[in-house]
A = this chain, B = another copy of it.
Amino acid sequence: MSTKLFLTVLGIVLITGCSKTTTTVTNISSLQSPDGKNVVEISITEEGQLQYSLSHDGQKVVLPSTLGFELRGNVKSESLDYEGNRPVMSDNDPCYLFDRGFEVTGFRNSSFDETWNPVWGEESEIRNHYNELLVCLKHTASDKLMNVRFRLFDDGLGFRYEFPSGQPLVYFKIKEELTEFNMAGDNESWWIPGDYDTQEYEYSHTRLSQIASHFDDFMRGNSSRTPFDRHGVQSALIMKTTEGLYVTIHEAALVDYPCMHLLVDGKTSGIRTWLTPDAEGWKGSLQTPAKTPWRTIQVAESATEMLASRLVLNLNEPCAYEDVSWIHPVKYMGVWWEMIAGAGSWNYTDDFQSVKLGETDFNNAKPNGRHAGNNNKVREYIDFAAENGFDALLVEGWNIGWEDWANCDKDYVFDFLTPYPDFDIQALNDYAHSKGIRLVMHHETSSSVRNYERHMEAAYSLMNQYGYDAVKSGYVGDILPEGLHHYSQWMVNHYLYCVTEAARHHIMVNAHEAVRPTGLCRTYPNLIGNESAMGTEYQAFGGINPGHTAILPFTRLNGGPMDYTPGIFEMNLKEWCGNDSHVNSTICGQLALYVTMYSPLQMAADIPEHYKQFMDAFQFIKDVAIDWSCSKYIYAEPADYLIIARKAKKDGQWFLGGVTDEQERSFNISLDFLEPGTYTATIYADAPDADCYKNPQAYTISTIEVTPQTTLPVTMKPGGGFAVSFEPKKQEDVCPSVVY
> Is A454's beta carbon under 8 Å from chain B?
yes
CB A93 to nearest CB in B, in angstroms, measures 11
Q: Which of A245-253, A403-411, A514-522 contacts B (4 or more CB under 8 A)?
A: A403-411
B-contact 0/1 string along A158-169, CB 8 Å cutoff: 000000011000
> Is A484's beta carbon under 8 Å from chain B?
yes
B-contact 0/1 string along A268-283, CB 8 Å cutoff: 0000000000111010
Q: Which residue of B lies closest to A477 (CB)?
A: B88
B171 near A408 (CB under 8 angstroms)? yes
> Is A89's beta carbon under 8 Å from chain B?
yes
**Which B residues touch A171, using CB under 8 A?**
354, 404, 408-410
Using a CB-CB cutoff of 8 Å, which residues 475-519 of chain A contact chain B? 478, 481-484, 490, 493, 497
**Which B residues touch A89, using CB under 8 A?**
407-409
Q: Which residue of B lies closest to A285 (CB)?
A: B409
Instruction: Give the A interface residue count (CB, 8 A).
Output: 43
Q: Which of B86, B165, B280, B454 contacts A279 (CB 8 A)?
A: B280
Q: Which of B81, B280, B282, B353 contacts A170 (CB 8 A)?
A: B353
CB A467 to nearest CB in B, in angstroms, measures 23
CB A450 to nearest CB in B, in angstroms, measures 7
> Is A356's beta carbon under 8 Å from chain B?
yes
Cα distance A90–B408 in the bound complex, in angstroms: 9
CB A319 to nearest CB in B, in angstroms, measures 18
A408 near B481 (CB under 8 angstroms)? no
Q: Which of B91, B410, B483 contacts A278 (CB 8 A)?
A: B483
Q: Which of B165, B353, B457, B483 contacts A86 (CB 8 A)?
A: B353
> Is A740's beta carbon under 8 Å from chain B?
no
CB A276 to nearest CB in B, in angstroms, measures 13
> Is A453's beta carbon under 8 Å from chain B?
yes
CB A206 to nearest CB in B, in angstroms, measures 28
B-contact 0/1 string along A434-468, CB 8 Å cutoff: 00000000000000001001100100000000000
Contact status of A481 and B482, CB under 8 A, knowing A356-B287, A454-B453:
no
A407 near B81 (CB under 8 angstroms)? yes
CB A186 to nearest CB in B, in angstroms, measures 35
CB A564 to nearest CB in B, in angstroms, measures 22
> Is A288's beta carbon under 8 Å from chain B?
yes
Q: Which of B170, B173, B490 contacts A354 (CB 8 A)?
A: B170
A88 near B482 (CB under 8 angstroms)? no
B-contact 0/1 string along A77-95, CB 8 Å cutoff: 0010110001011110000
Q: Which residue of B lies closest to A288 (CB)?
A: B354
Cα distance A644–B354 in the bound complex, in angstroms: 50
Cα distance A354–B170 in the bound complex, in angstroms: 7
CB A694 to nearest CB in B, in angstroms, measures 29
**Which B residues touch A497, using CB under 8 A?**
454
CB A18 to nearest CB in B, in angstroms, measures 34
Q: Which residue of B lies closest to A478 (CB)?
A: B91
Q: Which of B279, B287, B356, B404 contacts A482 (CB 8 A)?
A: B279
CB A720 to nearest CB in B, in angstroms, measures 31
B483 near A88 (CB under 8 angstroms)? no
CB A287 to nearest CB in B, in angstroms, measures 6
- Tell me which of A282, A287, A288, A406 has the highest count of chain B C-beta atoms within 10 A of its own C-beta: A287
**Which B residues touch A453, using CB under 8 A?**
450, 453-454
Cα distance A203–B666 in the bound complex, in angstroms: 83
B279 near A404 (CB under 8 angstroms)? no
Cα distance A249–B490 in the bound complex, in angstroms: 38
**Which B residues touch A490, using CB under 8 A?**
411, 450, 481
Cα distance A484–B480 in the bound complex, in angstroms: 11
**Which B residues touch A88, using CB under 8 A?**
406-408
**Which B residues touch A407, using CB under 8 A?**
79, 81, 88-90
CB A666 to nearest CB in B, in angstroms, measures 42
Cα distance A445–B173 in the bound complex, in angstroms: 20
Q: Which residue of B lies closest to A166 (CB)?
A: B353
- Tell me which of A406, A450, A482 has the highest count of chain B C-beta atoms within 10 A of its own C-beta: A482
**Which B residues touch A282, using CB under 8 A?**
482
**Which B residues touch A90, using CB under 8 A?**
407
Q: Which residue of B lies closest to A411 (CB)?
A: B493
Contact status of A278 and B493, CB under 8 A, knowing A81-B406, A170-B353, A450-B453:
no
A287 near B410 (CB under 8 angstroms)? yes
B-contact 0/1 string along A408-421, CB 8 Å cutoff: 11110000000000
CB A354 to nearest CB in B, in angstroms, measures 5
Using a CB-CB cutoff of 8 Å, which residues 164-221 of chain A contact chain B? 165-166, 170-171, 173
B482 near A280 (CB under 8 angstroms)? yes
**Which B residues touch A493, using CB under 8 A?**
411
Using a CB-CB cutoff of 8 Å, which residues 385-416 of chain A contact chain B? 404, 406-411
**Which B residues touch A483, using CB under 8 A?**
278-280, 483
Contact status of A287 and B354, CB under 8 A, knowing A411-B493, A453-B450, A453-B453:
yes
Cα distance A404–B483 in the bound complex, in angstroms: 27
Given contacts A287-B356, A450-B490, 7 further A-B contacts (CB under 8 A): A86-B353, A91-B478, A166-B353, A170-B404, A256-B411, A278-B482, A279-B279
Chain A residues proximal to chain B, CB less than 8 Å: 79, 81-82, 86, 88-91, 165-166, 170-171, 173, 256, 278-280, 282, 285, 287-288, 353-354, 356, 404, 406-411, 450, 453-454, 457, 478, 481-484, 490, 493, 497
Q: Give the 5 A-B CB pairs with smallest separation, nearest first.
A: A279-B483, A279-B279, A280-B482, A171-B408, A88-B407
Provide a sorted-by-A list of 11 A–B residue pairs whose CB atoms are within 8 angstroms. Answer: A81-B404, A91-B478, A170-B353, A170-B354, A170-B404, A170-B408, A256-B411, A278-B481, A279-B279, A279-B280, A288-B354
